[in-house]
Structure 1
Amino acid sequence: MADAPTCPICTMPDPLTAEDGYECATCGHEWLGEASDDLGDIRDANGNVLADGDAVTVVKDLKTDGKAGGIKVGTKIKSIRLVSGDHEIDAKVDGRQLLIKAAYVKKA
């Protein structure tokens, strides 16, 4: 018996089956086909390969929804987690959980 896929965002098991993939009942994330742990090479703004647990520094001011100010250039983010999608980095910044594109950070 094959293991049931888990949500790539919140890692909860037993997603709902949709007509073209899966949908997480907990967070609402939708993805196509089987969830895969193979992310390929995710590179920062300088071309360095990133890995889970790396520390990175923001290279561009980033605007965020909700809290004024966003994320300033030079903000160091510790212990990143790589995820699939167009925003490859999942990290906690100033107490907020955010998804960030790898092109806006450099390896610290």
Structure 2
Amino acid sequence: MSNPACPMCEMNDVLDHPERFECMTCGHEWPKEAAPDAPDAERVVKDAYGAVLADGDIVAMIKDLQLKGSSQVLKIGMKSKPIRLVDGDHEISCKMEGVLIGLRACFVKKVVS
């Protein structure tokens, strides 16, 4: 049986303790008895600090990230154009410096305007 994804950051690096699961990425712990979310439930995407993201929000990078297949680096604090939430391994689709990028929500924070 594979370990579930973390309900906070949705990463798959999970430790299996006798009575609970623990996320190695964010440190969140939850009991094993917790029922998984219903598949028809609306997906909630949260940024690195737990703020709920929605289509049209603006986000900023919380760490430098190298773009795969490119020498371009997304710097800390770089802001996006309004985001779009998508399904798949990257939760966010946005433009930064004119480049369409897919990002994981754990690398961004919501910008309050």
**TM-score of the alignment, normalized to the shorter chain, above 0.5:** yes
Name the SS for the 2:94 alignment partner.
strand
Runs in 1 of length 4+ with deviation above 2 angstroms? Answer: none
With the length of structure 2 as denominator, give the TM-score of the two structures.
0.59
Question: What is the aligned partner in structure 2 of residue 64 from structure 1?
Answer: 67
Distance in 1 between the 2:42 and 2:86 partners? Answer: 7
Question: What is the aligned partner in structure 2 of residue 78 from structure 1?
Answer: 81
Unaligned runs of 5+ in 2: 1-40
Distance in 2 between the 1:93 and 1:66 partners? Answer: 16
Matched-pair identity in %: 46
The one-character-per-residue Cα deviations of 1:19-44 (angstroms, maximum 9, x if unpaired) are xxxxxxxxxxxxxxxxxxx7510000
Number of equivalenced pairs = 73
After TM superposition, the structure 1 = structure 2 runs for residues 7-86 of structure 1, keeping only pairs within 5 Å, are 40-86=43-89
Question: Is 2:85 aligned against 1:104?
Answer: no
Unaligned runs of 5+ in 1: 1-37
With the length of structure 1 as denominator, give the TM-score of the two structures.
0.61
| Amino acid aligned to 2:78 | T
What is the root-mean-square deviation of aligned Cα atoms in Å?
A: 2.0
Distance in 2 between the 1:39 and 1:71 partners? Answer: 30
Pick which of 76-85 and 38-47 moved more.
Answer: 38-47
